[in-house]
Amino acid sequence: MNNRLKIVVIGGGSSYTPELVEGLIKRFHELPIAELHLVDIEDGKHKLDIIYDLTQRMIAKAGLCIEVRKTVNRREALSDADFVVTQIRVGGLKCRANDEKLPLKHNLIGQETNGAGGFAKALRTIPAILDICKDIEELAPNAWLINFTNPAGIITEAVTRYSKVKVIGLCNVPLGMINNVAQILEVASSRINIDFVGLNHMVFGKDIYLDGNKITDLVLKRVCDGAYMSMNNIPDLNWSVDFIKALRLLPCPYHRYYFMTDKMLDEERKAIEDGSGVRAEQVQKIEHELFELYKEPMLDVKPAVLEKRGGAYYSEAAVSLISSIHNDKKAIHAVNVRNNSAIANLPEDVIVEVNAVIGRNGAIPITTGQLPIHINGLIQSIKSFELLTVEAAVLGDYYKALMALTINPLIGAIDIAKKVLDEILQQNISYLPQFKKELREKE
């Protein structure tokens, strides 16, 4: 690997990019970047221009010699890259809003990465990611792909099964859980370690440690007492005390959609009724505010308002992961990676979210043993849903798509699943050419 690095960010016009740039600047002493390429599509060029200018100002303020380039031609950028970061949103926030609204019409959770919304996003995103991977295989075969694109577990699953690219999936949820625990205990987050087990947005904290001493019971007691354990984009509904005592694990914020479905549905309906709108519509307002700030010629730092966007800790997670690979640190990170028997009762070749040792050769997952029986069924069900979703997206298979939705715990009824699927395909058909043949045959 080169001493002077080339990093390519696909989705460079994202409002998240200043978060990433800040992280790269802070770790320049261990990540000597020569080139930073920001890539987006033609429709995103306006935002890309704004992010490029802000990035230039941030790097100039830091006094660093990094060549920053912008382009809407990803092949132009990818040649001989060392790391490629993907943070794309196929269809933009407009499609996300549709993903969140459509399920609500059927009295289902409307959420970006879970249930029908996450399914629709995956169908649009997987073909685009695999096209990117073809270019990486050709132009940067030694590069590491760090995928932050949601739904991160499903996307990483698709890349692992249908490309030769070296990939690690990344999510800020585990780091958010560590930081929440640290806030509860009023200690530095560096003193907290959590043994993570599960899947992306379906991950549990198995054991929790402070300075190497197990404190799981103490943290769970604090959660029972109402301690904050959520994210900016998810309502902080208090967990049932009896549920936490029965679970004996630390849930992630997204578990509320599965274990508190009725209450979460009520929250989503209230947001519609009070004019707040679905989360995508709220994010559109935040993004407008952000990009107005980003355009300010005197702004040369990441604005604090970016934390409202929901991507807190992204730069810390992404940049420390890149550093661990480049510097062969053998540091432990929670990542989305091939199971390889880390979780004994899941197949070896599926993608899981667990702690792994990260070094020059990638991620080596740490063995966690059997899933506890009380979470095994849910995780198995979600993994089956993910595998079917990947196959449906790649093959354009209507029936695999129907089965995926039917077995998803947030849907679960064949008549509803079929209505939702048909509406998703109709709504997204311009992004889903792989389904056009099957849909014509069904007509």
Catalytic residues: 254
The angle formed by the CA atoms of residues 112, 118 and 122, to the nearest 5 degrees, is 120
**Closest Cα partner for 28 from 63, 80, 2, 77?**
63
Sign of torsion over alpha carbons 187, 190, 194, 200: positive
Residue from 46, 122, 113, 47 nearest 90 by CA: 122
**Residues found in the chain:** 443
- Residue 151: asked if its preceding bond is cis (omega within 30°), the reply is yes
Helix, strand or coil, per DSSP, at residue 370: coil
- In the block, residue with structure tokens 């002493």: 29
**Torsion sign across C-alpha atoms 228, 234, 238, 244:** negative
The H-or-E segment that residue 206 falls in is strand 202-210
346-365: b or e for each residue (b if 16 or more CB lie within 10 Å)?
beeebbbbbbbbbbeebbeb
Computed on alpha carbons and rounded to an integer, the radius of gyration of the chain in Å comes to 21
d(CA 363, CA 8): 20
Burial class of residue 403 in the structure, from the number of CB atoms within 10 Å of its CB (0-12 exposed, 13-18 middle, 19+ buried): buried
Rounded CA-CA distance 148/173 in Å is 11
**Is residue 6 classed as helix, strand or coil in its secondary structure?**
strand
| 351: β partners | 338
In sequence order, what DSSP letters do the residues of 87-151 get, joined into one string? ---TTHHHHHHHHHHHHHHTT----SSSHHHHHHHHHHHHHHHHHHHHHHHHH-TTPEEEE--SS
Give, in order, the Cα–Cα distances in Å from 265 to each of 107, 252, 315: 8, 18, 31
How far apart are the C-alpha atoms of 91 and 18, rounded to whole Å? 22
Pairing of the two strands 83-86 and 5-10: parallel
Report d(CA 133, CA 165) in Å as an integer. 6
